[in-house]
Amino acid sequence: MSENIPSNVINRYFSKETDISNDIRRALLTIGVNGKYEYYEYWWSFWYVSNANKRCLIDKFRELEYYIYSDCKLYFKELVLKLIDNSLRDIIENFVPPHNMPNWKIQLIKDPALLDKNTSHYIAIPEDNSYCYLLKSKRPRDIDGSIKIK
């Protein structure tokens, strides 16, 4: 394998400092590491309004630097390796969710409109993982405007 292939992937998908696309976020949701599909665990806070853990689906390009040095770096590595032979769309469309993956996560992967219509890249997940909220902002003071996905 050519040594330039990973750098070509980086240049193609991660060279725009202004944006991380929602397709990248959705493709990352398809990556499993040790049976866990939770690339968003690099950032955590608590949302008392709904008694749920807040997570981030990589908000800004600059977060990638922090992300690749966190314990979640294997998700990024696996995505880059998949992008050598597949497009983002291929990864998303060909993803077969494990039987125990929550429905809300499958919806985020398969329905591009959910992330495209939401300007915040923050979600809130209760302990039982039964649903998530697409948060209207990083620090919403109430549930109004946040979208519940079951």
The per-residue pLDDT for 61 is 84
pLDDT of residue 130: 97
Domain count, the chain: 1
Q: Which domain holds residue 28?
A: 4-149
Please, which residues have CB within 8 angstroms of residue 65's CB and are 6 or more apart in sequence? none
Residue 3 has what pLDDT?
54
pLDDT in tens, 72-97: 899 999 999 999 999 999 999 999 99
Residue 4 confidence (pLDDT)? 61
Output the pLDDT for position 5.
65
Q: What is the pLDDT of residue 80?
A: 93
Task: Give CA separation, 80 vs 7, 10, 52, 142, 143, in Å.
Answer: 9, 7, 30, 37, 35
Of 120, 145, 111, 140, the closest CA to residue 52 belongs to: 140
Q: What is the DSSP letter of 97?
A: -
Low-confidence stretches of the chain (pLDDT < 50) are 1-2
User: Do 119 and 57 form a contact (C-beta atoms < 8 A)?
Assistant: no
Q: What are the residues whose beta carbons fall under 8 Å from the beta carbon of 20, sequence distance 6 or more? A: 58, 59, 60, 61, 63, 64, 121
Are the CB atoms for 94 and 47 separated by under 8 Å?
no
